[in-house]
Structure 1
């Protein structure tokens, strides 16, 4: 065996005066045995049993010798137990008498429930509870509260219908917004309380208060606005109005809370009517498109119509001037003829008759028949125009 006596039996060579290992002791902590057949390794079950016995003696606090093999004494000294108890008492006393204020906190010590003193960052001492109590609000931390989430796929913060609001034009919208707030660093001039004192002593549930004030302020602002501005350019104005209204309400109740910002995350119609809302939005876009197309057509037609109108007016003015000039000339001619008529009525009358005949007959086709020539046999009822054409073809004159 590996752990047997390497020095052999009783008749063999001696090794350190015993049958153990080279240092006179077996590897399992046993003393070297005598000669003979050599030592066998201890049983594993025996080792476990001895360990359990020692643990039991320690738990009972009793002493006792260790059986064969010369084990360690299992008893726990009373001084050790006293030391452990003293350390535990010191830890409890340290926890009860000392506390630590972090850099982002403000320590407020209450003695018998009444404000006693302020404490800054660092390690401080106090009387244990219930004599003194310490509160450590985080005065520089910015906190957020999300309100509203009635739409599909969103988690509700203030209830399933907290975001459903009625607009000024009678529409229902689902509003989700976030409020960023902190403990006010200012001191109230009227009461002399700091923002931390107001935050701790004037309101019982700060987060619930901020959420309810935010929902109330948003409902008021949305109720005074139409739907379309909330969906487009009016969101920034609504955010600012909600922030101002919330701050005024919290200041009225001296809550010691400062509203840093209000952000509108989503403004949508309820899920039940979102399809109809999209149709309305599409109709509005079509309306705008038709208006732009009509305006473009008007921009093309109106200048053309104005040009035609100017041209017609110019033509009318020219015709008017021409007609007036002709009428003026005719009137002047008539007056001159009348002056001559008064001087020689018969001559003037004959001249007018001849001029009239000239104007009438100058534009008419005429056929002159020579009775002495070959025209004596012509019957006046024949188509003279055809006769004229035939005479022209044969070389005759009309």
Structure 2
């Protein structure tokens, strides 16, 4: 098998080579001849001989096939790579960022042309400030100055992760990410504590401090293009310095007692006030009822007097006698007395008191 070339091989037009192009000049040799000449040329530089012969051709052919196989293996092995579910792949070509890949099987140029940085974007990371998980205290990190010129020991932790949307910022924009996050957390916490009073930060302002520090940290890291998401800021402990800790605890206990007493007073007031209001409403209702009854009685007495007066004008004598008898009946009726009428004689009429008999018969029963 031979093919012709004019001045430089099959890649130079207008010659025709093994892809069907016709010769445009005199033949210069076949493939075996070219291999032999290359072998002779290389043999001049090889120690111990000039490199001729059939065995040398076989050796060069083997080397060429070995190199070709190595190139194919290099391409196949280095082109494909796998990204784990918690990772994002950062593709580099000649050291330049070209894009990111999701979890699964992906491709890139093999080394040394291309490379891949796998970033664990879903891993939750923790930075401890002012203390360590083994219980050690770090005063140079924990001691902070409040707005009212008091010192407090603040131990807190920051939960964060790499931003899945911007892992390239995390890889390329900050040199030591964990140290950067920790430094930002400590700086922002000192700033926020400096805006609070010691009483507030020891008692009621803890939740607001956590939220404020998280927001300020995220804003500052976004300005740095750090590719970091701050998930949570947790205050582990906030105490006064050990020299005055007992005094501040007494103050806190007194404040709690004060609040408890206030709550008890409010509870008592909530109980007594409704009862007093109910009693007042009842008294007012009784007074209104008595007023209405008195008014109605007065009106009834007035109407009765007017009726009697009308009858009196018609028959004064009869009316006076009737009024006298009714009055005597009302006055003497309940009295236990016996009145004997002598009818103008000195001898009394025998009279049997029925009341005594009635009473004795009633007692006999």
**TM range, smaller chain:** 0.3 to 0.5
TM-score under structure 1 length normalisation: 0.45
- Which protein has the larger Cα radius of gyration, Structure 1 or Structure 2? 1
